Amino acid sequence: MAKLLDKQRYKCALGAMQTVQAIDRALPILHSGPGCAQKLSENTGSSGYFSPNIFPCTSINEKDVVFGGVKKLDSTIENALKVIDADLYIVLTGCIPEIVGDDSGEVVSRYEDAEKPVLYAPTAGFKGNNFKGHEQVVDAIVEQYLKKSDEKIEGLVNIWADVPYQDLFWLGNIRELEKLISELGLIPNTIFGYKRGIENINKIPKAQFNLLVSPWVGLGNMKKMERKLGIPYLHYPTLPIGATETSKFLRAVGEFAGVDKDKVEAVISEHEDYYYYLIGRYADLFLENRVINKQFTVVADAQYSLGITKFLVNDLGLVPAKQFITDDTPKYYRDKIAEEFKKLNFGIEADVSFETDGYKIHEEIKTHDYHGYPLVLGGYYEKEVTESLKGNFLNVSWPHQDKVVFDDFYVGYTGGIRLIEDIYTVAVQRFN
């Protein structure tokens, strides 16, 4: 029986074109209907080089459904290579060609000898959402492009985090992670954002290890790279926000990478000193506003739901109400992620619900007793319901209508301070 899904927070797997877009000078070639890219592109900043409006697309129609669209795909790739100057071309398929059985992989394989790499990622909508699509794109790069390297660069670490553009703070977050990692004396390598691109992709096989900072997105990619490229990985499931988690994170990375313990502690204490200096200066603000929000709810994808919950409990001492994870996390990851919500300071455990239906989430928020005004951190969908409860609302997850972010971030010590700033900016407005 078909059912309605209200206010879902993800797009179809073809939304992975944003993952490709996040790689500098990489171009998605779409084998899909003409409306797909239009619907999937967002105005949250283009790549700085290509606009989604010029993504080559086969614009398949009824004829291609009946007779197959491979010819059109072939000519679209051929001409994209001629006309558009990119470093990497990734063919993404929509639902239609996958349903009618176009062998897109075969067409793409004809371009093995092309001057620039042409890869293929199956991203039909029925295969999953854009989180899954993101993994497909990374998989395509690993499977079809990268080769095992005997040469290793000591201390080189590939950093992987959540899905670009889906995560409003993706650029700032990954830059801040790079910064933290380099402070430990390691060399960070990422493929997304400004001046990264193909050169950094080429460096992937030479890394000492992969670092995945995400509850589940990308875990499959890490396993694939371990098998194919022989790169071990460290999976750190919690997005480190604020001092407590970031210090844990740095210790975990330091230990895995074999960094001298004293060095790690020195980095940590320098950051923590400044962090707590700032917190100390504003202690009055926290105490005065403590009466506003006793309990909070996060409605976000797994990384922010987990990361922010840990931060608000461990660093700010708030009490978690029910938390919601809206990214349709695959079932086999769920228990492990729910476990993480039980590892909070002071013996506190948070209840978490994997729920994609916005209506049900809102009903639960409305009926929960927050012992005062709720603090809700979520997508723009939660704004209205929070206002109806006279609560404080902050837009941290998709959809983002309430916030413009260029390269701001929530990760790390500084990120924690940024999040506190944002939350209390909302809180103090109540008194104006």
Partner 1 sequence: MAYKIAIGSSDGKIVDLKFGEVNKFLIYEVGDEVVLSEEREYIPGEAEDNSADSCSSSSCDTKSCGGNGGGCQGPGNVAGKVELISDCRAVVCKKIGFQAQKQFEKKAISVFDVECEVKEALDKITFYYKRIDNHESLRG
Whether the CA torsion 139, 141, 145, 151 is positive or negative: it is negative
Are the C-beta atoms of 303 and 217 separated by less than 8 Å?
yes
Determine the 3-state secondary structure of 241 from DSSP: strand
Minimum CB separation of residue 95 from partner 1 in Å reads 11
Residue 99 interacts with partner 1 (CB under 8 A): yes or no? yes
Q: Which of 46, 59, 74, 100 forms a contact with partner 1 (CB under 8 A)? A: 100
Q: CA–CA separation, 87 vs 235, rounded Å?
A: 30
Looking at the Cβ atoms of 99 and 404, the one nearer to partner 1 is: 99
**What residues between 38 and 67 interact with partner 1 by CB under 8 A?**
62-63, 65-67
* Min CB(259)–partner 1 separation in Å: 52
Q: Is 280 in the site for partner 1 (CB under 8 A)?
A: no
State which residue, 124 or 264, has the beta carbon closest to partner 1: 124
405 contributes a contact to partner 1 by CB under 8 A? no
Question: Which region among 93-101, 358-366, 369-377, 422-430 touches partner 1 (by CB under 8 A)?
Answer: 93-101
Stretch that binds partner 1, among 77-85, 98-106, 249-257, 378-386 (CB under 8 A): 98-106
- Residue closer to partner 1 by CB (options 45, 68) is 68
Residue 1 sits in the site that holds partner 1 (CB under 8 A): no
Strand partners, 392: 375
- Among 74-82, 85-93, 95-103, 412-420, which window interacts with partner 1 (CB under 8 A)? 95-103
| Longest pairwise C-alpha distance within the chain | 70
d(CA 154, CA 263): 17
- Residue among 181, 191, 155 at smallest CA distance from 21: 191
Nearer to partner 1, 71 or 223 (CB): 71
Of the pair 66, 291, the CB lying nearest partner 1 is at 66
- Please, what is the minimum distance in Å from the beta carbon of residue 68 to partner 1? 9
- Shortest distance, CB of residue 104 to partner 1, whole angstroms? 15
Handedness of CA 115, 121, 125, 128 (dihedral sign): negative
Q: In the bound complex, what is the minimum distance in angstroms from residue 124's beta carbon to partner 1?
A: 11
Q: What's the distance, CA 400 to chain centroid?
A: 14
Judged by CB under 8 A, the number of residues near partner 1 is: 8
Interaction between residue 105 and partner 1 (CB under 8 A): no
Of 362, 359, 397, 360, the residue nearest 377 (C-alpha) = 397
Single out the segment in contact with partner 1 by CB under 8 A; choices: 94-102, 225-233, 353-361, 377-385.
94-102
Least distance CB 62 / partner 1 (angstroms): 5
Sheet holding 209-213, edge to edge: 187-189, 156-160, 209-213, 233-236
**Bridge-partner residues for 212, per DSSP?**
160, 235
Provide DSSP, 303-358: HHHHHHHHHHHHTT--EE--EEE-S---HHHHHHHHHHTT--GGG----EEE---H
Contacts with partner 1, residue ranges (CB under 8 A) = 62-63, 65-67, 99-101
